[in-house]
Chains A and B, each alone.
Chain A
């Protein structure tokens, strides 16, 4: 009986570890392979505080969470600079260093022999030793951690995390603060993992470095992969599955001392089998998007708030070099409300670089960018979006693994649910706000003509629909200056006319629209004003028909 209860406790602890790890790899796409380090930190902090300092519950638990959460914030820093396989290797290296510290800092951690004789958990005078007493506590902790993770995962913050996973630059381009998201999700996942560590120390009354090796991280990873990345219930199922499996196979007779190896062998085989036969895991990532809102519930108001006189956005003397290559030599550009400006010129003229400079994706080497008269040269992309300047990408960069509705929803500005503090302090108002936002996003989709596809994955859209969704996402930012990088390329006549009509409508509502375009008919049809860019400078500006009749420009470009 005790064995069954013990297995129950271990399932609870691993459920905590797997769900918190899923927040990192499944939701945020941050492949940081050091989760056992957070587990270890929680365990050792609790062990030292209860054994040496005799601190009563819940101080050791809270201290573990705080300390581990703090370390999590620090471990987020590599993820800001590097990604992909380099992040995996770096974090694995950090975990090896952490284990070395545990083994070598003997005076604090007991070194290779670990710390034993840790007092059992005692809450309000009740001593909870043995699996029978401990299981309810472990279960309660697992439920609370799961609910916290689910609350985050389903909130606007979780949606923003998934957008970041799908495409980091696109998430920044709709106003998400990548730095804040990475740091806070790391801190949070680390703090949750430390809860499992803290309980582990009390439960086994022993902590040693062996429990927290790289193989432990791989085990937690296996649980997430087996359960299904991006599905929190899956992580609980994965944890239960992989804890139970070796117990079920326990009848296999093996010489003493090999159980650990066999267990690893089983985990490794299960991981590989799942990767081969069911890479999405036992449970798929749920299709999210809020409750479907009645079509046309909220008519959208596009018109802009302020009547600013003069050009909304001006760039003066902009310059950008890459090494020895001058991409932008000296560019003056101004975008006015109510007008569609076309940015034209041959490939390599610096059009996209100009967009990157105007939207903060690249820093200018010289020159000044003013928005409504204020200098904005030092702002990051997400700050510029919030100020009112947004852009799209030539290669679309939709959040392909999310629903069409979510692609728009995530781009809406001023979402209080993007902040963890609001999520926990004012959950009710965050929920009401998100319901209103869902209706608003639905309104934008209806306006754009994608209402029917709201709950489909962006990945399943046709090319023309994808281009429409790009426009919808940009409208959702509520920015006043909208920069479209080739919104019309690759479209047939009807689809092209549809987008041109949308752009006209946006301009009529007071937005400053700028498009990069190559198709001469489309330019003549869509643009009020042309800027001809070549060799990194604006060679000519003015009325499209005049420019397109200029013999020199015809010679150079408009053949």
Chain B
């Protein structure tokens, strides 16, 4: 029972983390319909930006973490503007854009490996506080993940509903052609979406850095999980992404109750497979933001 309670807590912590990933990826994918595999290296890049800020500039953690979202939004926006946008303007198929995205992922990951080396980089002198609540341990990072998720979800919801850009994003996600016809600058909105979605992913990237350290390929698995979460939850739905994140987190964590640890990664992929086969439109389709 204590094991179960601990797995439940871990599952909720991971769920918050996955929901963050799904929120960022879902915003990009749901609005632009681009399968942005290069979300992975951008995510890794943000973690390295924070690591460098701590290591070379000697900045304290609370300032260094700001470098993550900043680096990611610049990186994500650059990928959109320099790679995806020209492709879309030439009318290339979604397959071509996806292959481009895979190619970019390989190039950027290799570049990061050549630049930083394949070893694990950890933030200097950081150790997360651990709290003991009755029978279970909760880490400070798990709490921080959950709090940031809630703050970001509320902020994003308000942004989408109450600002001009937010409404543009909703319109674009709903019907791209119609959005263009009514005079929305779809390129600029997409750019904002890439910057914003990447910045949200960077929050998760910083948590990975603090949890287990950064590696150039650290983004490979999160892209898939983000895709699972976004699709499981239903594209473009914020409550859906949160529900999807907790679902993946809990299934993965509670699965460890019965399944050996080394299969943990496969669980999310099996879940993705099952969901796509049974309900490709997602579990929460039709849910309004």
Residues of B within 8 A of A276 (CB): 86
B107 touches A31 (CB 8 A): no
Residue pairs across A and B with Cβ atoms less than 8 A apart, 25 shown, are A78-B277, A84-B94, A84-B95, A85-B95, A86-B280, A88-B95, A89-B224, A89-B227, A90-B276, A93-B224, A93-B273, A94-B269, A96-B269, A97-B273, A104-B260, A214-B220, A262-B114, A265-B106, A265-B107, A265-B111, A265-B114, A268-B104, A272-B104, A275-B87, A275-B96
B106 touches A82 (CB 8 A): no
Q: Would you give the shortest CB distance from B28 to chain A, in whole angstroms?
A: 13
Residues in chain B within 8 A of chain A (CB atoms): 35, 83, 86-87, 92, 94-96, 98-100, 102-107, 109-111, 113-114, 118, 220, 224, 227, 231, 260, 262-263, 265-266, 269-270, 272-273, 276-277, 280
| Alpha-carbon separation in the docked complex, A36 to B95 (Å) | 19
The one of B83, B86, B105, B265 in contact with A96, judged by C-beta atoms closer than 8 angstroms, is B265
| Alpha-carbon separation in the docked complex, A259 to B59 (Å) | 34
| Alpha-carbon separation in the docked complex, A82 to B96 (Å) | 18
Residues of A within 8 A of B106 (CB): 215, 218, 264-265, 267-268, 271
Residues of B within 8 A of A225 (CB): 99
Listed residue (A81, A82, A276) with the most chain B CB atoms within 10 angstroms of its CB: A276
Interface residues of A in 244-285 (CB under 8 A from B): 257-258, 261-262, 264-265, 267-269, 271-272, 275-276, 279
| Alpha-carbon separation in the docked complex, A279 to B171 (Å) | 31
| Alpha-carbon separation in the docked complex, A100 to B261 (Å) | 12
A100 touches B103 (CB 8 A): no
A191 close to B (CB within 8 Å): no
A553 close to B (CB within 8 Å): no
B276 touches A82 (CB 8 A): yes
The one of B102, B111, B265, B273 in contact with A100, judged by C-beta atoms closer than 8 angstroms, is B265
The A interface is mostly helix, strand or loop, or mixed, namely helix
| Alpha-carbon separation in the docked complex, A271 to B111 (Å) | 15
Interface residues of A in 73-113 (CB under 8 A from B): 78, 81-82, 84-86, 88-90, 92-94, 96-97, 100-101, 103-104
Which of the four size classes fits the interface of chain A?
Answer: 35 or more
Listed residue (A81, A82, A261) with the most chain B CB atoms within 10 angstroms of its CB: A261
Known: A82-B277, A89-B35. A100 touches B266 (CB 8 A): yes
| Alpha-carbon separation in the docked complex, A78 to B280 (Å) | 11
Listed residue (A84, A89, A97) with the most chain B CB atoms within 10 angstroms of its CB: A89
Residues of B within 8 A of A503 (CB): none
B269 touches A93 (CB 8 A): yes
Q: Which residue of A lies closest to B224 (CB)?
A: A93
The B interface is mostly helix, strand or loop, or mixed, namely helix
Residues of A within 8 A of B92 (CB): 275, 279
A454 close to B (CB within 8 Å): no
Residues of A within 8 A of B111 (CB): 265
| Alpha-carbon separation in the docked complex, A226 to B114 (Å) | 25
Residues of B within 8 A of A94 (CB): 269, 273
| Alpha-carbon separation in the docked complex, A222 to B220 (Å) | 19
Residues of A within 8 A of B107 (CB): 265, 268-269, 272
Q: Would you give the shortest CB distance from A75 to chain B, in whole angstroms?
A: 11
A221 close to B (CB within 8 Å): yes
| Alpha-carbon separation in the docked complex, A84 to B35 (Å) | 11
Q: Which residue of B lies closest to A213 (CB)?
A: B220
Known: A89-B35, A261-B113, A265-B114. A218 touches B270 (CB 8 A): no
| Alpha-carbon separation in the docked complex, A222 to B277 (Å) | 27
Q: Would you give the shortest CB distance from B34 to chain A, in whole angstroms?
A: 9
Q: Which residue of A lies closest to B90 (CB)?
A: A279
Q: Would you give the shortest CB distance from A303 to chain B, in whole angstroms?
A: 43
Residues of A within 8 A of B105 (CB): 268
Residues of A within 8 A of B220 (CB): 214
What are the 9 A-B residue pairs with the smallest beta carbon separation, nearest first? A268-B106, A268-B107, A265-B110, A271-B103, A93-B269, A100-B266, A272-B103, A264-B110, A261-B113
Q: Would you give the shortest CB distance from B106 to chain A, in whole angstroms?
A: 4
Known: A265-B110, A268-B103. A85 touches B94 (CB 8 A): yes
Q: Would you give the shortest CB distance from A241 to chain B, in whole angstroms?
A: 15
| Alpha-carbon separation in the docked complex, A279 to B100 (Å) | 11
| Alpha-carbon separation in the docked complex, A8 to B262 (Å) | 38
Q: Which residue of B lies closest to A88 (CB)?
A: B98
B272 touches A89 (CB 8 A): yes
